[in-house]
């Protein structure tokens, strides 16, 4: 299998508060879905795409994550003290990820259909793009709720804040990191960076060729397991 052209960052540092009692004694990425921890589902996406360098950030109950990842050829970017949010977490991990664009996965989603990272890599155009986000129309998401994130223009650009948002970001993207590295803040959300890129006209979206379930709360586990079963027998 040819090597994937980007390093992969997997976000796994959050507290998982929406999971309630399930995250009292374990980090959310170690919650099992269909017999396998969420983080392993994300790592499998990377392996199937041919990723050769993976970084996982940790914070809450980080010793459990470190033990689980031992021997996996995965680098850990540990966020001691204050949790850094998505943008700050990525910035802190840049020394492990190297220069250039980075692929990113959230660890609290389940994707079926085409490999999300492969899709993004095939559509990535560094001459036009600083960000390429994987999206689904709101009505095609599972366990996500009723709020969409972006509008998707015919030319593939995304925007928001104007009304009419009908697409959801489903936790996979490729991102140029120069803005991240230049941000003076240590703690910030990638939403800030996306806004800057939208204003610059360099933020794009791609509709996922498959399904996705948000596993950010307990109800999402049931939906995700149904989705996995359906994909296995479909």
Judge whether 1 lies within some domain: no
Closest among 135, 169, 89, 120 to 4, alpha carbons compared: 120
Residue 64's domain spans which residues?
8-232
d(CA 64, CA 31): 12
Write the CA distances from 175 to 8, 190, 226, integer angstroms: 11, 10, 31
Judge whether 25 lies within some domain: yes
Judge whether 167 lies within some domain: yes
Judge whether 63 lies within some domain: yes
Count of domains for the chain: 1
Stated pTM of the model = 0.96
Write the CA distances from 219 to 106, 215, 229, 232, integer angstroms: 18, 8, 16, 21
**Which tens digits make up the pLDDT trace of 11-35?**
999 999 999 999 999 999 999 999 9
Judge whether 3 lies within some domain: no
CATH of residue 66? 3.90.550.10
Judge whether 2 lies within some domain: no
Percent of the chain scored above 70 by pLDDT?
Answer: 99
| 11: Cα within 13 Å, side-chain hemisphere | 25
């Amino acid at each position: 299998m040819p090597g994937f052209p980007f390093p992969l960052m997997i976000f796994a540092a959050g507290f998982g508060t929406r999971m309630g009692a399930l995250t009292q004694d374990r980090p959310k990425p170690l919650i099992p879905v269909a017999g396998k921890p969420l983080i392993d589902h994300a790592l499998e996406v990377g392996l199937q795409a041919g990723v050769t360098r993976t970084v996982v950030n940790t914070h809450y109950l980080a010793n459990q994550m470190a033990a689980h990842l031992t021997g996996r050829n995965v680098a850990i970017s540990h966020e001691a003290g204050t949790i850094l949010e998505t943008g700050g977490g990525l910035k802190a991990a840049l020394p492990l990820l190297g220069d250039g664009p980075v692929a990113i996965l959230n660890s609290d989603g389940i994707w079926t259909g085409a490999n999300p990272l492969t899709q993004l890599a095939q559509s990535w155009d560094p001459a036009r793009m600083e960000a390429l986000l994987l999206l689904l129309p709101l009505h095609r998401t599972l366990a996500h709720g009723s709020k969409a994130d972006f509008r998707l223009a015919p030319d593939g650009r995304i925007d928001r804040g104007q009304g009419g948002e009908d697409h959801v970001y489903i936790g996979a993207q490729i991102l140029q990191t120069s803005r991240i590295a230049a941000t003076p803040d240590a703690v910030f959300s990638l939403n800030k960076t996306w806004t800057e890129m939208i204003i610059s006209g360099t933020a794009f979206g791609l509709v996922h060729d498959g399904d996705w379930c948000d596993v950010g709360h307990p109800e999402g586990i049931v939906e995700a397991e149904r989705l996995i079963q359906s994909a296995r027998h479909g």
